[in-house]
């Protein structure tokens, strides 16, 4: 297995295969790089090099009692990109991963001067601000994330069996088909993560505020979000992100759930391929 060792000694696992322009993926909570399997293989089959890492405390990366913050997530991503010496890359982030790549660009790539990042893609991302904090009164209330934190402590195994219904929209009439494979995969990835990392990350995806820094990201950005997202609501995140980013294109997937990278994988793969080739 391949790892990058960060400045604080945490080992970050990553996968890297294919040939061509690099596309780097950052996953959502509580998952790992395994969440990208189908899309990574598709893009590798179509002439791209694909890289995805497990966030610290998730998947095969080391758990760390400290550093479970959006800034450190961005620093860990920077360590992967630097070690692999990537240039002209396209960064793709789903949910929490959207925040991670945004913070990486403003914290590292904007001042790097080496042309490491050329484009970005936000998929159902928590940017610009998901939570009802810092004057974002119509954001997701703290009571919602409090219930998530309590579920992690009380019985996270059961929570990770139940949550896929909402994540993939399987509970809705006319929504995604019920897939026990998706449920089992979600449970497996969630249970592989460290409880402290999972708990800390909840506050990071809910309360991290990207509104000001996003105004200064000038690279081409593709924002894709499901209008039926019940986890990271479209109106307060995807729609606003596309309005703030200076060079953004918005694609709204009608009635798609938060987990649309799985439920709408074929459509997403086509949209990513077109954006990467443009």
Count of C-beta atoms within a 10 Å radius of residue 118: 16
| Average pLDDT score over the chain | 96
CA distance 277 to 169: 30
Whether the pLDDT of residue 123 is over 80: the answer is: yes
CA distance 226 to 248: 16
Whether the pLDDT of residue 175 is over 60: the answer is: no
Which CATH number covers residue 205?
Answer: 3.40.50.1820
Containing structural domain, residue 6: 2-277
pLDDT, residue 1, reads 83
pLDDT, residue 113, reads 64
pTM reported for the whole predicted model: 0.97
Known catalytic residues are 95, 229, 258
Instruction: Read off the tokens for 263.
Output: 């439920």
Instruction: Read off the tokens for 144.
Output: 């919602």
Whether the pLDDT of residue 173 is over 70: the answer is: no
- Interval 17-60: pLDDT, tens: 999 999 999 999 999 999 999 999 999 999 999 999 999 999 99
pLDDT, residue 9, reads 97
Distances (CA, A) of 132 to 55, 98, 142, 207: 25, 18, 7, 8
- Give how many domains the chain has, as a whole number: 1
- Interval 90-117: pLDDT, tens: 999 999 999 999 999 999 987 766 789 9
Best CA proximity match to 238, nearest among 141, 123, 94: 123
Distances (CA, A) of 17 to 31, 44, 47, 74, 130: 20, 7, 11, 22, 33
């Amino acid at each position: 297995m391949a790892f990058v060792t960060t400045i604080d000694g945490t080992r970050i696992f990553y996968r890297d295969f294919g040939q061509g322009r690099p596309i780097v993926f950052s996953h959502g909570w509580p998952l790992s790089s395994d969440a990208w399997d189908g899309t990574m293989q598709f893009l590798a089959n179509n002439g791209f090099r694909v890289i995805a890492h497990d966030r610290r405390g998730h998947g095969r990366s080391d758990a760390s009692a400290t550093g479970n913050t959006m800034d450190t997530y961005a620093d860990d991503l920077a360590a992967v990109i630097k070690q692999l010496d990537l240039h002209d890359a396209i960064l793709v982030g789903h949910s929490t991963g959207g925040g991670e790549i945004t913070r990486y660009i403003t914290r590292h790539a904007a001042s790097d001067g080496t042309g490491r990042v050329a484009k970005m893609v936000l998929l159902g991302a928590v940017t610009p601000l998901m939570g009802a904090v810092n004057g974002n009164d119509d954001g997701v209330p703290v009571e919602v994330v409090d219930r998530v934190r309590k579920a992690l402590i009380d019985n996270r195994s059961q929570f990770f069996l139940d949550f896929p219904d909402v994540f993939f929209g399987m509970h809705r009439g006319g929504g995604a088909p019920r897939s026990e494979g998706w449920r089992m995969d979600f449970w497996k990835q969630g249970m592989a993560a460290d409880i402290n990392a999972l708990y800390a990350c909840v506050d990071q995806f809910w309360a991290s505020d990207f509104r000001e820094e996003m105004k200064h990201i000038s690279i081409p950005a593709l924002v894709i979000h499901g209008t039926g997202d019940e986890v990271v609501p479209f109106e307060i995140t995807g729609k606003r992100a596309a309005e703030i980013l200076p060079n953004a294109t918005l694609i709204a997937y009608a009635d798609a759930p938060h987990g649309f990278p799985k439920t709408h994988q074929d459509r997403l793969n086509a949209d990513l391929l077109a954006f990467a080739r443009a």
